[in-house]
Amino acid sequence: MLITLMKKGYYLVLITIIIVLSVRALLKCEQPIDRLLLLTGFLVVGYNAFLFLIYVSSFSEADALRVASYWRYNMHMGGIVIAASGVVAVLAWHRFFSGETRWEKMAWIPIILLVASPFAFAKNMRFDLVPIIVRCRYVGSDLSNYMGQVSIYFVLDPEGSGEVYNITAYEMDGLGKANVYLAAYHKIDRRMLESAVSANRLTHILIHSVNPMIENFFQVNLSKDSSQLLKKTKNS
């Protein structure tokens, strides 16, 4: 969980500051802001403790080890974290910078940054234009030319986290049925692949990424830069 949070540096810094301030407020509650910090700190810590319990007790081993959707769940705390951080920032500003003429003359800078940011970070905001997402959407919409509604397939993505599978499945719009999905957080070995390939009524294998073991298992030339669809025949 901590590793996942460390990948979201700004959020981790914010909740760390809030938790530290909430501990201080618990020991010495003097102002209205202290009550807000106490509420926020207890919510963040309590919610994450609840998530830890759920991962250990209710999730599968694979999902628990990769703390599935942990960042998405933490977004539930986003509103109160932003509110508490905003109040703290305003109070800190009034305490340390208010009344200084040099700072008042720079009040227009935040406005310019807010207006310019959407244009400056347009590429980051348009995540739908990321090459891998574009590719998967195209693959998902094109599979209707090669698969039928009754097709049963398994998805192989040893380098992926699950995002590719979900995007492709969305574009497939109910086409076929995926009976197995193997990704980076699964321990993929030859025995597991043999079991997946020999599944009853399996018709296709959708491969989004490859590694040496996958290439050796299928004994075909697989591209590392594209998705591939293999069709199972009676003799395969």
Structural domain total, the chain: 2
Residue 3 has pLDDT above 90, yes or no: no
50 band by pLDDT with thresholds 50, 70 and 90: very high
pLDDT on residue 2? 75
Domain-embedded: residue 63: yes
Q: How many residues does the chain have?
A: 236
Shared domain check, 106 and 29? yes
Domain-embedded: residue 218: yes
Shared domain check, 70 and 140? no
- Identify any residues that bridge with 183 across adjacent strands, giving them in sequence order: 157
At which of 74, 95, 124 does a domain end?
124
Residue 48 has pLDDT above 80, yes or no: yes
pLDDT on residue 102? 64
CA distances from 173 to 37, 63, 140, 166, 183 (A): 45, 25, 8, 11, 21
In this prediction, residues 204-232 reach a mean pLDDT of 86
43 band by pLDDT with thresholds 50, 70 and 90: very high
Shared domain check, 111 and 11? yes
At which of 124, 143, 168 does a domain end?
124
Shared domain check, 104 and 81? yes
* 201 vs 235, more confident: 201
Q: In whole angstroms, what is the distance from residue 221 CA to residue 233 CA?
A: 18
Shared domain check, 27 and 74? yes
Shared domain check, 98 and 141? no
- CB within 8 A of 211, min separation 6: which ones? 158, 159
Domain-embedded: residue 236: no
pLDDT on residue 44? 92
In this prediction, residues 203-230 reach a mean pLDDT of 87
- In the predicted model, what is the mean pLDDT of the chain? 84
In this prediction, residues 30-42 reach a mean pLDDT of 88
Residue among 39, 36, 45, 42 at smallest CA distance from 87: 36
Domain-embedded: residue 34: yes
Residue 22 belongs to domain spanning: 2-124
Lowest mean pLDDT among 38-47, 52-61, 74-83, 155-164: 155-164
Shared domain check, 180 and 84? no
In this prediction, residues 46-64 reach a mean pLDDT of 88
* 95 vs 147, more confident: 147
At which of 80, 99, 124 does a domain end?
124
Give per-residue pLDDT as tens, 16-35.
Answer: 889 999 998 888 888 888 88
Residue 13 has pLDDT above 90, yes or no: no
**DSSP states of 12-42 as a string?**
HHHHHHHHHHHHHHHH---SHHHHHHHHHHH
Shared domain check, 11 and 67? yes
pLDDT on residue 99? 64
Shared domain check, 102 and 18? yes
Shared domain check, 109 and 36? yes
Shared domain check, 11 and 108? yes
Give per-residue pLDDT as tens, 87-140.
Answer: 888 888 777 776 665 666 777 887 888 888 888 887 777 777 778 888 888 888
pLDDT on residue 46? 93
Domain-embedded: residue 207: yes
